[in-house]
Amino acid sequence: MKYKPGTMSWMAGYAGPQGDVGFMMEADYSKAQKIIEERLAEGRNIALATMGLDGDWECNHTVVYEDGAHYDYKAWHESGWAIPTLVIEYADGSEEVVEVWTKGEDS
């Protein structure tokens, strides 16, 4: 993966320079699946798709598409500072990075 999602400890992220955005960003796995299916319908050859929290990626990401199969999202589902993100890696070496979240409760 060329794109390098941010990673820091939970405490550093929560209290650090990024700070709390004032509400919870909830991971939207159905939006991620829809984006993957749209790209496949366009004829794009997806090698791998991962989804997680950009800002806490090291601890909170999971493979959601590989070898023609979808997999459940099994990472943390919400954050007030780390952005739920989908990273699609194509067979040609290109990548696409998309925020995939909905606004949740105020924090």
The span from the CA of 61 to the CA of 87, in Å, is 10
Model confidence at 35, in pLDDT bands (50, 70, 90)?
very high
* pLDDT score recorded for residue 7: 54
* pLDDT score recorded for residue 56: 81
**Stretch among 3-17, 54-68, 91-105 having the lowest mean pLDDT:** 3-17
Given a cut of 50, is residue 17 above it in pLDDT?
Answer: no
The span from the CA of 107 to the CA of 93, in Å, is 38
Given a cut of 70, is residue 13 above it in pLDDT?
Answer: no
The span from the CA of 105 to the CA of 92, in Å, is 39
CB 85 within 8 A of CB 100: yes
Please count the CA atoms within 13 angstroms of the CA of 68 that sit on its side-chain side. Answer: 0
- Residue 81 burial by CB count (10 A; 0-12/13-18/19+): exposed, middle or buried? buried
